[in-house]
Every structure is written in structure tokens, then in C-alpha cells.
Amino acid sequence: MNGTSGLTIETRSLSKRFGHQLAVDSVDLAVPHGSVFGFLGPNGSGKTTTIRMMLGLAAASAGTVSVLGLEMPRRLHEVLPRVGALVEGPAFYPFLSGAANLHRLDAASRHAPPATRKARVGEALERVGLAHAAGKRVHAYSLGMKQRLGIANALLSPRELLVLDEPTNGLDPQGTREVRSLVRSLAADGATVFVSSHLLAEVEQICTHAAIMSAGRLVAQGPLAELRQSGEAQIRLITPDARRAFGVLLRLGMAPVAGTPEPDGEVVTAVAAGSSAGAGPGGDPAAQDMVAPEDIVARLVGAGVRVRGFSVERESLEDRFVALTGEGFDVAQ
Amino acid sequence: MHSSLPARVPGALSSSAAAPETVSSLSLLASELKVLFQRRRTWAMLLALAAIPVLIAVAVRLSSSVPAGRGPAFLDRITQNGLFVAVTAMLVSVPLFLPLTIGVVAGDTIAGEASLGTLRYLLVAPAGRVRLLLVKYAGALVFCVAAPVTVALAGAAIGGLFFPIGPVTLLSGDVVQPPEAALRLVLIAAYLSLSLAGLSAIGLFLSTLTVVPVGAMAATVVASVVSQVLDQLPQLEWLHPWLFSHYWFGFADVLRQPVLWDSFASNAILQAGYVAVFGALAYGRFVTKDVLS
């Protein structure tokens, strides 16, 4: 069903050029079948443009996209009926009711059976909690309600792939939680869910895999656990015997740094030895050639260092995200 | 949110559930017409068109007499026969009012969807670009029929209310009874619908060029004005037969006995040419267009 690769979405050297600007630059995405795939990146990093090319809305300047094992946009008519999508925010006819809008978009598909249209629209509205507002004009909907209606549109037919671009935009915390549980239930039904977001926490909570875009380039991708681990591990030691600890750590091949002193003693931090800093996509978990934390402590104690506090801290996904995409609110150029 | 979606049936969509092509396209056309005719704007335009014969009828009724040979053609006949309200109203709406409303509808076809953002959802549905373009044009054509028919119906109704209805003297001097005269009204409306087909195709093409519907609407109306102005310039006589507005006033031939079909036929060929050319341009533009709105 999804080709031999087991990938629901696969792009190869996908690029999109607008005039002089390269909006998407040689992106090789690999979205495994059945995954909940988080597509991360700051605003303007090329996420939506990539999605537009995946869905056949825009033509690639170079490279290929295959979705559900079929080449896009050549096999668009076979692919898109099996894909539900929310692209760059919801869009509706303001003068039509929520239900009428869904009827309209469902009628646009030549694959959606008209006989079951009414029932499917009702179910989709029910599923996103909009049944009570079905007859209201979209003009009177709040942003959150429009967002829900957009998700309902993606759910009008059973789908093998859902592409949700910023699905929690404009939703209140309750709505955000509902979207998360909805995504989980869709994944439990066997669908692959591709969620783009600039909100890291959102992705961390629901995704099995993630990719990070920055300035049009794919800077990391893989299972979430791997992405987390590929960050550097750091040890943090609190001791009154800082100088002696420095010696021990240097002998272990680490580069200790003095931190801000605490009441219990001085703080020494060091990057754990052997951790492969900045492992690229699919990089091995770094932990394997690092000296075990208990051994470090044993050595320290053996050398007479009074250990008052010791911890191994992994770089959070957020640190990694910031390291890869840059800090602050600057929109990528 | 509740998890009550029907159980997924793998492959059900890709194999049997696809509706036959024509049925699904008719379903999309029905949806298109529903959207078009549920807009207040559409009804406002039809009401404005219907107001033209009403204004004419009221003006003629309130004034004592219309001097023959002044004002729009047929105006002086209205007091003798109410059906001429419809003829006069159609005549005066040809140069501006009808092209204006067609410009709004045809210019909105693709650009309107693009500006709402619904274009991307229609295409992802997937509507199919060619199919969507054809349905959009068909919707515009339905409006091309609705607009002159509205003028004719409102004209006949208000004319019948204010003035006597009786046998009609045609341009050829023959006299026909009211049922036959009503048929002639229908023929005039059909002639105008046909006349607007080319302009609709131009509007459709312009609409694929922009995401600002007002721009496409204005450009379409400007095109109709320019065509009519060029048609007035004797220096450009060689160009006149090629202008899409050239036969717009040719419907007088329908008011002869027997009906002269020459201008009807010439008009049909000319309009078909415009539909072919601008349809092809719209197709060429739209199938390769990056939908970024």
C-alpha cells in the first residue's frame, strides 16, 4: 500500500525557488508509515511550502515527492482522496454555515460518495465538537471554531494520511488538548499523521518522529527519542573540592568548567566524554561511549572529592531546536 | 472530541466508492450554483437588473407621453404594449449593466476562491484543476442566462401591470400575438446570454491571474468597455468583426418575421472563438499555477 520503502511521505532533494529566494532547499524527508510526525521550524522556514508541494498545490523547482508510495503530483488523483489536509489555516465561505461548507468541499471530491455525505459531515462535526454550531454561518465562528471546522474537513472521509499544518493555532488550552487526543486517536486508527508546528511542546507531546526545518533546509530528522539523545549530555557536580575534581575529570577526558558557586560548594560542569555532539539525522545515540555516571562518581570519591551533588543533564529538545534554528523571534530570511 | 468515526475500510475509497464522473461533476456544479446563488451579492445584482425595467415602466407611466424617436429604441411603444418594457430594458442593459454583473461573477470564479483560501481546499479535495475550471465556467454561464432572463421577466411583469398587453408589431411590420411575442422575448434573452459567453471566458482567464477578485472583475468590465469603444471607431473597421461586443446589439433581427438568424449565427461563431481562446489561456494558466494563497 505504501510502496516498498515503508514511507508514507518521501521527498528527495525537494527544492522550491521563488525568484531569487530558495524557500525549500534540497529537503529529504522520510515519514515512516504509521508515525505521528512532527514537522518543526520557525515561521518562514519553508514548512508550508513543503506541504504545498506534497499536496500538489505548488510545483517543485527540483526534486521529487512521493506520498503513499505514489509520485506527486502525477498521481494526485489517486493520492489526495486518501489524504486529509489542513493547510496554512482554515479557509471557508463566510456566508455559508459550517455544515454547508463541509458539504461544498466534500462535493468537490469526485471520490466522496454523495449518498453518505450528510452522515459523514455530521460525524466529522461531532468529532471536533462543532455539532451545535453546524447551522451557524462561518462568519460568526471564532478562530478556534474555524480551526476545528478545518480539522473536520480533513476528517470527512477515512484517511490514510493526515497533513495538519499548525492544527492548534488559535485554539484555547482545552481545544489544544482535544486536538492532541484527536491526533492520538487517528494514529491509533492506523493513519499516519504529519503535524507541522512552530510550537515545540506540542510536537514533543504527541509525536513519535520529528524533523526540524531552518531557513529552507532540513537540519535534523528521526525518531523523537533519537533526536533528544543526539544532544550533548552534561554532568553537573557540586563539591567544595573543585580543584581536585578538575584533575579527576581531566584524566577522564572531559573538559570541566567552573560554574556559579552554590551554598554547598562550587559547581563544576563538563560535557560528558565521548558524546557525539551534533549527531546528524539518524545519528547513533550518543550514550554508548560515555563514561558511566556511577564510574565518574566512584573516581571522584576515590580521589577524595566530597560529592555533594551530581547529575547528568541531557540537552532538552528545546535546546536542540534552538541550537539548530537560532534563538529569538527572527523570522528566517 | 469523540472518537466515533466509522471503522476504516482499507482500500474502500480507491476502488469501488468513486462516483461516476458525470454524477460527481454535476454534484460539484450543483454545489457551485448553490454557493453562487446563496450569496447576497448575486441577488443584489439580479435585483439591480430587475430594477431597470421597473424604473423605465414607472418613468413612462408618470410622464404624459413619449415623443417618438427620442430616448432608447422601443421606448415610445411601451404605452401601447407593456411587453416593450422588457425589450427596452434589455436594450439599455446591454452596454454596461449586463457586462458589469458578468464581470463580477466571472472575475470572481477563481480569484474569489483564491482570496478566501478555499481554492487550496477545493484542489486538495481533490476537485481536479480542469474539472474545477469547467465547473466554474459553467456556473458563470448559468449566471449569463439568469441575468437577461431576470430583466425580461421583470420587464414583462411590470409592463403587464402598468400597460396593456396585446398584439405586437414587429420591425418587419408583421403583427404577432402575445404568446408569440413572449417567445421573441425569450429569444432576445437567449441572444444576450450567448453574447456574454465570450466575456465570461475572458473573466475566467483574468480570474486565474490574480488572487484579488476585484482586480479581475474590474479588468473584465474594462475589457467590455474597451471592446465597445473600439467598435465605435471607424478607423478600426477591419477590427470590428473580431470584437466580442460586435454583435451585442444584433438582437433586433429576432424582432422580424421571419426571424433573421444571421446575426445569431455570426455571434455564436464569434463567441465560440472567444470561449476557445480564453478557455485555453485559462487552462494553460490554471493547470500549472502554484496555488499559494
Examine the domain organization and report whether A219 and A241 are in the same domain. no
- Answer yes or no: do A176 and A128 share one domain: yes
Residues of A in contact with B12 (CB under 8 A): 158
Q: Are A171 and A82 part of one and the same domain?
A: yes
A304: in domain: yes
Regarding whether A205 and A281 lie in a shared domain, the answer is: no
The CATH number that applies at residue A94 is 3.40.50.300
- Shared domain for A116 and A89, answered yes or no, is yes
**What CA–CA distance (Å, rounded) separates A199 from A40?**
8
| CATH code (residue A280) | 3.30.70
* Prediction pTM value: 0.84
Do the chains contact at B13 and A111, CB–CB below 8 Å? yes
Does A325 reside within a domain?
no
Same domain? A22 vs A163: yes
| CB < 8 Å from B in window 104-123 of A | 104-114, 123
Domain end point (choices A171, A198, A228): A228
Q: Return the pLDDT at A152.
A: 95
pLDDT tops 50 at residue B216: yes
B138/B131 Cα distance (integer angstroms): 10
Q: Are residues A115 and A143 in the same domain?
A: yes
- Within a domain: A330: no
CB pairs under 8 A between A and B: 143
pLDDT of residue B16: 41
3 state DSSP class of A155: coil
* Average per-residue pLDDT for chain A: 85
Q: Note whether A189 and A307 are same-domain residues.
A: no
Confidence of residue A281 (pLDDT cuts 50, 70, 90): very low
Are A127 and A26 contained in the same domain? Answer: yes
pLDDT tops 90 at residue A331: no
Are B120 and A88 an interchain contact pair (Cβ–Cβ within 8 Å)? Answer: yes
A115 lies in the same domain as A87? yes
Alpha-carbon distance B81 to B140, whole Å?
Answer: 33
**Domain-located, residue A141:** yes
Kindly report the nearest CA distance between residue B291 and chain A, in angstroms.
Answer: 5
Look at residue A2 and tell me if it is in a domain: no
Q: What is the pLDDT of residue B64?
A: 64
A196 and A265 both lie in a single domain = no
Are A313 and A269 spatial neighbours (Cβ–Cβ below 8 Å)? Answer: no
Q: How confident is the model at residue A289 (pLDDT cuts 50, 70, 90)?
A: low
Does residue A329 sit within a domain? no
d(CA B28, CA A320): 48
How much is the pLDDT for A327? Answer: 57
Range of the domain at A245: 232-314
Contacts of B37 in chain A (CB under 8 A): none
Which chain A residues are Cβ-neighbours of B3 within 8 angstroms?
127, 185
- Say whether pLDDT at A1 is over 90: no
pLDDT in tens, B221-256: 999 999 999 999 999 999 999 999 999 999 888 888
- Provide the b/e sequence for A227-247 (b: ≥16 CB within 10 Å): bbbbbbbbbebbbebbeebbe
Q: Say whether B125 and A109 touch across the interface (CB within 8 A).
A: yes
Residue A319 domain-assigned (yes or no): no
Q: How confident is the model at residue A231 (pLDDT cuts 50, 70, 90)?
A: low
| B-chain residues near A77 (CB < 8 A) | 126, 128
Residues A110, B18: C-beta atoms closer than 8 Å? yes
A285 located within any domain:
yes
- Quote ipTM for the complex: 0.85
Report how many domains make up chain A: 2
Per-residue pLDDT at A66 exceeds 80: yes
Return the residue of B nearest to A57 by Cα.
B291
Please indicate, yes or no, whether residues A278 and A174 belong to a single structural domain of this protein: no
pLDDT band at residue A276, thresholds of 50, 70 and 90? very low
